[in-house]
Amino acid sequence: MNLASIGLAPARALASLPAQRGMVDATQLLTACRVAYEHGAQLAALFGSDERDRDRGLLLRVVLRDGDGLTVLEHALRDPAWQCPDLTPFFPSANRMQRAAFDLCGIRWDGADQRPWLSHGAWPADELPLRRDFVGTHADPRAYEFVRVEGEGVHEIAVGPVHAGIIEPGHFRFQVVGEKILRLEERLGYVHKGIEKRFETIALADGYRLAGRVSGDSTVAYAWAYAQALELLCDQVASPRAQHLRALCLERERIANHLGDLGYLGNDGGFAFGLAQFSRLREDVLRLNHVMFGHRLLMDVVVPGGIRYDLVPDHAAALRAQSMRLRTEVARLREIYDEHAGLQDRFRACGYAPPALAARMGLAGMAGRASGQAQDLRCDFPAPPYDALVVRMATRNEGDVAARVAVRFDEVIESLRLIDAILDALPPGPHLVTPVRPARESLAFGCVEGWRGPVLIALEAGPAGTIRRCHPHDVSWQNWPVLEHAVIGNIVPDFPLINKSFNLSYSGHDL
């Protein structure tokens, strides 16, 4: 989106993909969001910052993404009412982001949903965690009002927030007739950990460690996005060898998560054989990760300046051998899944998210590509080494569980091909350089296509190598609301299957 087209002069912005940044008033903010919506842009992130010590009041940042890159709109609220126009008419996924901005910063929204989102009463109602004068003296529990459906034969089923399995907490309130779902309302935020506040106490050089723990299943994506942002602040670029090894780790992370989900999806469809086989394959991937890089999930492997461990020839040979085995076994298991009548009966036409709904709601990442949203940062804005690898994007239009399963299979095979291509093109040279301290206090963005979808880091440097503000943003913010639509008309026993087909992050969403 061209800021000049709405009468704004862009400011210089640092980003890992083309970006522009401009200050806007309330009218310009609404105009810019309307123009962005009309031209098919997506809301990439929305968050607030306390800028009262800089005489800018509370600062709202709205990050939009379209075919030209990122547009960062900054709106300063100086009136103590801290009132801002509601953006949900253009971007429905803004609802929960706006509510989180109120819970954490105190930004209010004209005519919008005023219920708390991240606030479960762990801090006083009159104190705000991301204000710079936050103390947090005591807890202040308060009730949450769910929306209810009333009528003859309508029943309510509450699921969670504590679940039987080893998963994170989330509350799901179903309104049903018999077993047919009329409405689902989610209540998340139970694993809010104060991550954004914690970043303010960490040195810039060390922030990658916390970034890599925002959502443990996406540690490579988050750490790489953080490293991108910090390297941009330092006016440095990782070496070509480091870039290739980062991509190798990212594709290994993608493979491991897809293999795990394919197994659980088979199990939720009543096919335990699938869980056993894909769990075995995933375990092989994780064990080789540990041998090569010292950690099964590749945590703390991607660091600012490059990658912590280099790849030795013996490990490269082991990678090639494992890729060959996985390619054969995954192809065979796909045939079994596709030919299993009972499994396909559970997958097809289940958890339907049609392309029109996906576009309206901003469904992104793997789930979006299964609903006709052909967007992948590795293809649309390929950072090195993806600019030379040429990723083949996996897409489907059906938008059901079967489509999300098919995209996962396609992406596993493509990631295996990419790993071979990375090894073929792996250049010599250093794998790690020490980043210098940023020359200025400034804002930078890192953005990486994780296995679930885009991961964004907004990083603002403070004085003397400190972090003034860091906002990590998971694609789950955009995708969780779509799950509420996808389950409508299905039966309650299908919910675990539909939920797993999206497999959204609690931790990356709740921060």
- pLDDT of amino acid 175: 94
For the chain, give the longest Cα–Cα distance: 71
Amino acid identity for residue 296 in this structure? R
Residue 94: closest CA among 506, 477, 507, 504: 477
Residues 6 or more apart whose CB falls under 8 angstroms from that of 314 comprise none
Residue whose pair of structure tokens reads 């503000």 in the numeric block: 469
Q: In the beta sheet, which residues pair with residue 432?
A: 306
Averages of pLDDT over each 10 residues, the chain, 511 residues:
54 61 91 93 95 93 92 91 92 95 93 88 87 84 82 88 83 93 94 94 95 96 96 93 98 98 96 97 98 96 96 96 98 97 96 96 97 96 93 97 98 98 96 83 93 96 93 97 96 94 95 88
What six digits make up the tokens of 297? 């999930």
With residue 23 as reference, give the H or E element that holds it. Answer: strand 19-23
Digit-coded pLDDT (tens) for 40-89: 999 999 999 999 999 889 999 999 999 889 999 999 998 888 999 999 99
Rounded to 5°, the CA angle 389-254-204 comes to 85
Question: Global pTM?
Answer: 0.94
Report CA torsion sign: 143, 169, 376, 45: positive
Tokens of 210: 């916390």
Place of tokens 């842009």: 41
263-301 pLDDT, tens digit each: 999 999 999 999 999 999 999 999 999 999 999 999 999
Looking at residue 364, its pLDDT comes to: 97
The neighbouring-strand residues paired with 180 are 177, 491
Q: Name all domains of the chain by residue range, CATH numbers in brackets.
A: 3-109 (3.30.460.80), 153-191+475-511 (no CATH)
- Picking from 373, 361, 366, 352, the residue whose alpha carbon sits closest to that of residue 502 is 366
Got the DSSP string for 258-281? HHHHHHHHHHHTT-HHHHHHHHHH
Say how many C-beta atoms besides its own lie within 10 A of residue 203's C-beta. 12
Q: Are the CB atoms for 58 and 48 separated by under 8 Å?
A: yes
Residue 207 CA to residue 95 CA, distance in Å, equals 28
Q: Give me the residues paired with residue 471 across strands.
A: 458
Q: What is the pLDDT of residue 133?
A: 87
DSSP state of 492: G
| pLDDT of 7 | 54
Q: What is the rounded distance in angstroms from the CA atom of residue 4 to the CA atom of residue 6? A: 5
Strand (E) or helix (H) holding 97:
helix 94-105
CA 155 from centroid of its chain's CA atoms: 33
CA–CA gap between residue 253 and residue 258 (Å, rounded):
9
CB 429 within 8 A of CB 239: yes
Is the distance from CB of 509 to CB of 474 less than 8 angstroms? yes
H or E element in which residue 457 lies: strand 454-461
Q: What does the CA dihedral 366, 370, 373, 376 come to, rounded to 10 degrees?
A: 30
Please report, for residues 57, 115, 452, 462, the alpha-carbon distance to residue 128 in angstroms, rounded to integers and kept in the order given.
Answer: 14, 15, 30, 21
What confidence tens digit (pLDDT) does each residue in 5-33 have? 555 544 444 456 777 888 899 999 999 99
| Residue-averaged pLDDT of the chain | 92
Q: How many residues does the chain have?
A: 511
Residue carrying structure tokens 């401009």? 22
